[in-house]
Amino acid sequence: MSALLEVRGLAKRFASRAGREPSPWIIQNLSFSVNEGEFLTIIGPSGGGKTTLLNMIAQIDCASDGEIRFQSQIAPVNDLKALKPGLDCKIGYVTQEDNLLPWRTCIDNVLFPLQVQGKLNDETKARAQNLIRAVGLAGWENHYPHELSGGMRKRTSLIRTLVYDPPVILMDEPFGALDAQTRLQLQDDLLRLWNLGRKTIVFVTHDIAEAIALGDRAIVLTRQPSQVAGEHRITIPRPRDIRGIMTHPEFVDLYQRIRAQVQ
């Protein structure tokens, strides 16, 4: 079975002014693949181009070289004008900042993609309500983003992407800015929700423990120019206990192996 998402020899550097030296490669010769239903975590140092990578997969930025294949079809990454952000809603993207629309209430934000895609009906509205309840935001639907805490806004941003059910979801350090307690809670929520639908998730983080706790497979990226330094299969069985994961016998071994690869 061929992979759902394939990245081959991807390379990226920003445009340089004519007459000046070309700017350094941010990503070079990056290749990996993601299978359907897989939870892939990508670990890398901050500033290593992880966000750029996700931007390219999500089609909001173009590549300097290489190709990206989605469902065995080549995605138009090389030409700025040919980009199709979100690839017709097949790729969802949970960004680092919550990017909620400040003028909409929590539930209106969650319903936003449905509204844009013309899929707003009773069934989808009910789905939104279920998601709101599932992440513990019940009762806060009619509040504006500035009235919600950071964790609540993150949760809203998360279910906003889940609500329209894209086959692949990209996540860019979504829990990075939260306190440890909230982070554990949200990791738990995420795995629970993922279990219900078994979507394909590509999750970027700089936190090794998080990568091990959440993923089926972890990929380590080098510093700029980023390449794949190594791949690790996470053999810890599911369902996983987020809070107790560190005591699992295989955890320490995995952690040390990954730690050695991350410079």
Partner 1 sequence: MATLNSTGGPGVGVLEGNALLGWLYSRRDQILVLLILIAGWHGLSLLLGTYWIGTPWGVAVRLYNGLLNGEIIRHSSYTLAEALAGFAIGGIPAAVLPFLLRRLPIVTAILDPFMVGGYGSPKLALAPLFILWFGIGLESKIALVAFTVFFIVYFSTLSGIRALDTKLVQMAQVMGASEAKVARYIIFPGAVPHIFTGFRIAMPYSIGGAVVAEIISANRGLGYLIQLRSMNFDTTGVFVALVAVCVVVFLSNLVVNVVERRLLRWRPPSDVTAQKE
Partner 2 sequence: MADTALTFDESAARNRRIIIRVGQIALAVGLIWIWKIGSQTAGELFFADPFKVWDRLIAITLSGELWMHTYETLRISFVGFVLGCFFGVLLPFVLRRMPRLTDAIEPYIMASVGVPKYALIPLFILWFGIQDAPKLWLIGLLVFYPVFIAIFAGIRGVDGRLINMARIAGASEARINREVIWYALLPFFFSGLKIALPRAVSAAIIGEFLVGNKGIGYYIEHSRQQMDVTGAFTGIVVAIALVLIVNSALTYIDKRLNAWRPTDRHMAV
Q: Does 229 bind partner 1 (CB under 8 A)?
A: no
Question: Can you say how many angstroms the Cα of residue 109 is from the centroid of all Cα atoms in its chain?
Answer: 19
Check binding of 85 to partner 1 (CB under 8 A).
yes
- 89, 120, 193, 229: which one binds partner 1 (CB under 8 A): 89
143, exposed or middle or buried, with CB in 10 Å at 0-12, 13-18, 19+? middle
By CB under 8 A, is residue 145 in contact with partner 1?
A: yes
Sign of the CA dihedral 26, 31, 34, 39? negative
Do the Cβ atoms of 44 and 27 come closer than 8 Å?
Answer: no
Residue 91 and residue 229: Cα distance in Å, rounded? Answer: 25
Residue 56 corresponds to which amino acid? Answer: M
* # of chain residues touching partner 2 (CB under 8 A): 13
Which helix (H) or strand (E) covers residue 172, if one does? strand 168-172
Contact status: 200 vs partner 1 (CB under 8 A): no
| 70 contact, one of partner 2, partner 1, none, CB 5-8 Å limit per kind | none
Q: Of 88 and 253, which CB lies nearer to partner 1 in the complex structure?
A: 88
Quick check: 198 and 162 in contact, CB under 8 A? no
Is 159 in contact with 131 (CB distance < 8 Å)?
yes
Q: Which of 41, 52, 95, 205 binds partner 1 (CB under 8 A)?
A: 95
* Cα 174–Cα 127–Cα 36 angle in degrees, nearest 5: 55
Alpha helices in 42-163 (DSSP H): 50-57, 106-117, 122-134, 150-162
Which of partner 1, partner 2, none does residue 95 bind (CB under 5 to 8 Å by kind)?
A: partner 1
Selected from 44, 66, 113, 151, the binder of partner 1 by CB under 8 A is 113
First to last CA, the chain: 34
Q: Which is nearer to partner 1, 25 or 164 (CB)?
A: 164
> What is the per-residue binding string for partner 2 in 12-41, x denoting contact by CB under 8 A?
-x-xxxxx----------------------
User: Quick one: which segment of 39-47, 58-66, 116-124, 136-144 binds partner 2 (CB under 8 A)?
Assistant: 58-66
**Which residues sit opposite 228 in a β-bridge?**
221
Interface residue with partner 1 among 32, 39, 70, 112 (CB under 8 A) is 112
Our finding on whether 86 is near partner 1 (CB under 8 A) is yes
- The binder of partner 2 chosen from 3, 29, 65, 207 (CB under 8 A): 65
Q: Interface residues with partner 1 (CB under 8 A)?
A: 58-60, 85-86, 88-89, 91-93, 95, 97, 99, 101-105, 112-113, 115-117, 144-146, 164
